[in-house]
């Protein structure tokens, strides 16, 4: 009888034992762009400053190289949009994008326009450090618009 009682108690304890706690999914999707900065100003800097020790994740960069209705007088050497804290620990490894000066005959148009998408985000090199994107000095009648979509995460 004692064995039967112990066996019954053991069976009841297995039935009413607590199961492991369930894992709840986060309602936050971290790989989407939450912020956007853009500029069309010559020789300016976009600064993406992460909070605390988080990193900057860039999800998309849009660049348009345009000229006004007057058009440029003469083609100039290409210029570069440069960055810091992207693509490598050394400043020489940071990403840059080359932009032409435009076509002499292409007045009132955009001669280069492209969008670069990073599906899971391009992570900054050093956490807690701002990412900067620096536009070049434009030639007369040229405008380069840079738009950056990004988010912060560990």
Reported as a single tens digit per residue, the pLDDT across 124-135 is: 999 999 999 999
Number of domains into which the chain is organized:
1
Residue 56 in any domain: the answer is yes
User: In angstroms, what CA-CA distances link 75 with 66, 79, 80?
Assistant: 13, 11, 15
Q: Are 120 and 60 in contact (CB under 8 A)?
A: no
What is the per-residue pLDDT for 110?
80
What is the per-residue pLDDT for 18?
54
What is the per-residue pLDDT for 36?
93
Tokens at 85, concatenated: 């804290």
Residue 28 in any domain: the answer is no
Residue 70 in any domain: the answer is yes
Residue 129 in any domain: the answer is yes
Alpha carbon distance, N-terminus to C-terminus of the chain: 60
Q: Which helix (H) or strand (E) holds 146?
A: strand 142-153
Reported as a single tens digit per residue, the pLDDT across 56-95 is: 999 999 998 888 888 777 777 788 899 999 976 565 568 8
What is the per-residue pLDDT for 70?
80
Residue 21 in any domain: the answer is no
Q: Are 71 and 141 in contact (CB under 8 A)?
A: yes
For 12-39, b where at least 16 C-beta lie within 10 A, e where not — what string? eeeeeeeeeeeeeeeeeeeeebeeeeee
Residue 24 in any domain: the answer is no
What CATH code is carried by the domain that includes residue 56? 2.60.120
Residue 113 in any domain: the answer is yes
Give residue 94's domain range.
33-153
Residue 28 has pLDDT above 60, yes or no: no
Residue 26 in any domain: the answer is no
């Amino acid at each position: 009888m004692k064995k039967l009682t112990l066996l019954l108690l053991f069976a009841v304890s297995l039935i009413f034992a607590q199961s492991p706690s369930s894992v709840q999914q986060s309602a936050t999707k971290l790989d989407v762009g939450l912020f956007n900065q853009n500029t069309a100003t010559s020789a300016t800097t976009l600064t993406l400053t992460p909070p605390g020790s988080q990193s900057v994740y860039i999800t998309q960069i849009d660049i348009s190289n345009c000229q006004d209705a007057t058009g440029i007088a003469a083609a100039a050497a290409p210029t570069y949009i440069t960055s810091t804290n992207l693509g490598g620990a050394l400043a020489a490894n940071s990403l840059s994008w080359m932009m032409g000066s435009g076509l002499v005959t292409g007045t009132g148009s955009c001669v280069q326009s492209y969008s670069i998408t990073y599906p899971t985000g391009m992570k900054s090199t050093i956490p807690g450090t701002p990412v900067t994107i620096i536009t070049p000095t434009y030639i007369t009648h040229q405008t380069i618009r840079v738009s950056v979509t990004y988010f912060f995460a560990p």
